[in-house]
């Protein structure tokens, strides 16, 4: 059974998904394409990401490579990589050819070596070489973010020759994001930058070297993301040339691409702090998702047992003053929140290059001031609550002192742990969370219960 072109596409995403699934299962690819095309962009991405794997492959292989590349670009990277690794290398190469070289490199760089080699063999040799080179760069350095489609002209050319070249190759350059023309010598080393406005308004018989901006700023292919972000913060450029170790022009980096990469970096850091180390989608196999989460949760359960052992040690004190049980989770949670705020600020400053991993003492002193003020305020607040509830000023003193001290400990640890982890070549986002939680829990429980044991006569 086939679906007519007049079939109405439902508005609800779940219904749209089922609509497309039925058409693909019945072999009605043409109407499936029309149905997907008619969806709003957001719905289209959701539907394609939720299609069963085999049907998604069937659909993207069956449509023209340019359209498939557009759809692949909007899919989560983990799904795009999985798709490229499963379909025939020739089909994968055809789709990749329609994407920017930097994106091609990002995708094939995540594939197994065997899959990458198979796909690159199906691509033109020059393109394959470019992609292979780009794939060697880290995702968060200039070489991994730059675009390699730019306009470069020889320093011996005139303005007229450059303009004629742009007009003669307009069809090619129309796909480029051209705002500047880069002037290079015979070795490919950058000599200057020529804004299009200067190019168009200059006499045709003058050399480009006479109207170009000399000694332009550039960045190395290995410049890290945080330095790139700082560069664009200091300079209001739309883009900047990227050079290799021999100072040859190899790419152009745009402000927008750096900002997008920074946003991805922050999102990944947040997921790591929550124990999601690898990208996870709910369309992934259940066992895989469970196994990845359990690897993190299993570690955390042991850390929590360590923290809980403090309570076990003081169980007699807790039994005598059962009201303390109400305040233990409050002190633990509030200290955790204070510590996580400090972690977030340190992570942000590390990402922006505003703090060095060796500045542990400086950061600790800065956080100590915040901890003293906030600790005192929170301690007074929780002490007042305890006193109003039980009418015992000693209970207020115990929980208030514990809250204040633990807040100071939490912000001190939260501010300095990311720097310490960075110095140890460990991922700060991955390590700071569980260590901070365990230490603040243990410290909070110990402070409350040890003070209570010391003043037990005043509390019972």
Dist CA 87 CA 74 (whole Å)? 18
Nearest C-alpha neighbor of 123 from the set 108, 144, 139, 140: 108
pLDDT of residue 347: 83
| 52 and 166 in a common domain | no
Q: Is there a single domain that holds both residue 116 and residue 167?
A: no
Please indicate, yes or no, if residue 241 is contained in any of the structural domains.
Answer: yes
- Judge whether 278 lies within some domain: no
State the pLDDT at residue 292: 76
Do 186 and 113 share a structural domain?
no
* Contact status, residue 104 vs residue 309, Cβ threshold 8 Å: no
* Same-domain check for residues 233 and 377: no
pLDDT at 406: 94
Same domain, 188 and 301: no
For residue 408 the two structure tokens come to 């100071």
Residues 452 and 376 in one domain: yes
Q: Provide the pLDDT confidence category of residue 48 given band limits of 50, 70 and 90.
A: confident
Whether residue 3 is predicted with pLDDT greater than 70 in this model: the reply is no
pLDDT at 392 over 60: yes
350 within a domain of the structure (yes/no): yes
Please tell me the total count of domains within the chain.
3
The pLDDT of residue 11 is: 63
Quickly state the pLDDT bin for 239 (edges 50, 70, 90): confident
Residue whose C-alpha is closest to residue 180's, from 164, 205, 162: 162
318 neighbors 325 (Cβ within 8 angstroms): yes
Backbone phi, psi, residue 356, to 5°: -100, 150
Residue whose structure tokens are 């922006």 = 352
Q: Note whether 181 and 265 are same-domain residues.
A: yes
HEC string of the chain equals CCCCCCCCCCCCHHHHHHHHHHHHHCCCHHHHHHHHHCCCHHHHHHHHHHCCHHHHHHHHHHCCHHHHHHHHHHCCHHHHHHHHHHCCHHHHHHHHCCCCHHHHHHHHCCCCHHHHHHHHHCCCHHHHHHHHHHHCCCCCEHHHHCECCCCEEECCCEHHHHHHHHHHCHHHHCCCCCCEEEEECCCCEEEEEEEHHHHHHCCCCCEHHHHCEECCCCEECCCEHHHHHHHHHHCCCCEEEEECCCCEEEEEEEHHHHHHHHHHHHHHHHHHHCCCCCCCCCCCCHHHHHHHHHHHHHHHHHHHHHHHHHHHHCHHHHHHCCCHHHHHHHHHHHHHHHHHHHHHHHHHHHHHCCCCCCCHHHHHHHHHHHHHHHHHHHHHHHHHHHHHHHCCHHHHHHHHHHHHHHHHHHHHHHHHHHHHHHHCCCCHHHHHHHHHHHHHHHHHHHHHHHHHHHCHHHHC
- Asked if 84 and 230 sit in the same domain, the reply is no
State the CB neighbour count (10 A cutoff) for residue 319: 10
pLDDT value at 1 more than 50: no
CATH number of domain containing 309:
1.10.357.20
Q: What percent of the chain has pLDDT over 70?
A: 93
Q: What is the pLDDT of residue 393?
A: 93
Q: Which domain holds residue 108?
A: 13-140
Alpha carbons 161 and 158: distance in angstroms, whole number: 5
- State the Cα–Cα distance between residues 40 and 43, nearest whole angstrom: 5
The CATH number given to whatever domain includes residue 269 is 3.10.580.10
Measuring CA to CA, which residue among 108, 25, 33 is closest to residue 68? 33
In a domain, 8, yes or no: no
Structure tokens at 174: 């129309």
As to burial, measured by CB atoms within 10 angstroms (0-12 exposed, 13-18 middle, 19+ buried), residue 224 is: middle
CA dist 289 to 45, 76, 295, 311, Å?
A: 21, 16, 10, 33
Examine the domain organization and report whether 242 and 380 are in the same domain: no
Token output for 40: 């709003």
> Does some domain include residue 6?
no
State the Cα–Cα distance between residues 193 and 183, nearest whole angstrom.
6
In a domain, residue 87? The reply is yes
| Among candidate residues 100, 119, 140, the one where a domain is terminated | 140
For 264-269, the CB contacts below 8 A with 24+ separation are 265/140, 265/225, 265/351, 266/351, 268/429, 269/347, 269/351, 269/429
Q: Does 362 share its domain with 453?
A: yes
CB neighbour class for 62 (10 Å; exposed up to 12, middle 13-18, buried from 19): middle
pLDDT at 344: 84
Q: Mean pLDDT in the chain?
A: 86
Cα angle for residues 51, 108, 80 (degrees, 5° grid) = 15
Give the pLDDT band of residue 221 (cuts 50, 70, 90): very high
**Phi and psi for 222 in degrees, rounded to 5?**
-100, 10
With respect to residue 392, please indicate whether it lies within any of the assigned structural domains.
yes
Asked whether residue 163 falls in the same domain as residue 133, the answer is: no
The residue among 100, 117, 140 that closes a domain is 140
* 424 shares a domain with 329: yes
64: domain CATH number?
1.25.60.10
pLDDT band of 433, cuts 50, 70, 90: low
User: Is 171 among the domain residues?
Assistant: yes
| Cβ-contact 232, 258 below 8 angstroms | yes
Distance CA 71, CA 96 (A): 12
Q: What is the pLDDT of residues 86-143, one digit of tens each?
A: 889 999 999 999 888 888 888 888 888 889 999 999 999 988 988 888 888 888 899 9
pLDDT tens-digit profile of 395-407? 999 999 999 999 9
Q: Which of 242, 273, 304 corresponds to the end of one domain?
A: 273
Q: How confident is the model at residue 332 (pLDDT cuts 50, 70, 90)?
A: confident
pTM, rounded to two decimals = 0.67
């Amino acid at each position: 059974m086939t679906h007519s072109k007049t079939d109405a596409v439902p508005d609800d995403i779940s219904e749209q998904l089922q609509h497309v699934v039925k058409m693909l299962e019945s072999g009605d690819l043409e109407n499936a394409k029309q149905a997907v095309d008619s969806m709003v962009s957001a719905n289209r991405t959701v539907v394609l990401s939720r299609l069963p794997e085999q049907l998604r492959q069937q659909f993207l292989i069956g449509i023209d490579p340019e359209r498939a590349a557009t759809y692949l670009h909007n899919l989560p990277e983990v799904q795009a990589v999985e798709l490229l690794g499963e379909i025939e290398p020739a089909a994968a190469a055809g789709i990749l050819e329609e994407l920017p070289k930097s994106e091609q490199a990002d995708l094939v760089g995540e594939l197994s070596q065997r899959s990458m080699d198979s796909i690159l063999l199906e691509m033109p040799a020059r393109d394959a070489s470019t992609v292979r080179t780009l794939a060697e760069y880290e995702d968060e350095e200039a070489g991994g973010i730059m675009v390699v489609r730019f306009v470069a002209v020889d320093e011996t050319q005139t303005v007229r020759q450059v303009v004629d070249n742009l007009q003669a190759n307009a069809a090619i350059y129309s796909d480029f994001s051209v705002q500047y023309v880069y002037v290079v010598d015979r070795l490919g080393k950058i000599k200057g930058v020529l804004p299009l406005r200067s190019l168009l308004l200059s006499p045709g018989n003058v050399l480009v070297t006479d109207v170009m901006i000399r000694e332009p700023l550039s960045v190395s292919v290995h410049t890290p993301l945080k330095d790139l972000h700082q560069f664009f913060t200091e300079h209001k450029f739309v883009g900047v040339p990227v050079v290799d170790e021999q100072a040859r022009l190899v790419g152009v980096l745009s402000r927008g691409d750096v900002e997008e990469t920074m946003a991805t970096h922050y999102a990944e850091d947040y997921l790591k702090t929550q124990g999601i180390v690898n990208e996870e989608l709910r369309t992934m196999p259940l066992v895989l998702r469970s196994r990845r989460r359990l690897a993190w949760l299993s570690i955390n359960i042991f850390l929590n047992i360590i923290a809980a052992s403090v309570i076990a040690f003081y169980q007699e004190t807790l039994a005598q003053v059962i009201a303390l049980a109400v305040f233990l989770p409050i002190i633990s949670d509030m200290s955790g929140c204070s510590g996580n705020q400090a972690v977030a600020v340190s992570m942000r400053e590390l990402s922006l290059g505003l703090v060095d991993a060796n500045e542990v003492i400086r950061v600790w002193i800065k956080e100590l001031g915040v901890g003293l003020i906030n600790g005192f305020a929170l301690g007074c607040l929780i002490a007042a609550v305890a006193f109003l509830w039980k009418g015992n000023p000693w209970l207020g003193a115990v929980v208030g002192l514990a809250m204040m001290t633990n807040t100071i400990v939490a912000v001190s640890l939260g501010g300095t742990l990311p720097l310490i982890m960075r110095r140890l070549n460990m991922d700060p986002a991955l390590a700071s969370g569980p260590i901070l939680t365990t230490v603040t829990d243990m410290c909070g429980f110990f402070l409350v219960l040890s003070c209570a044991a010391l003043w037990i006569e005043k509390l019972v």
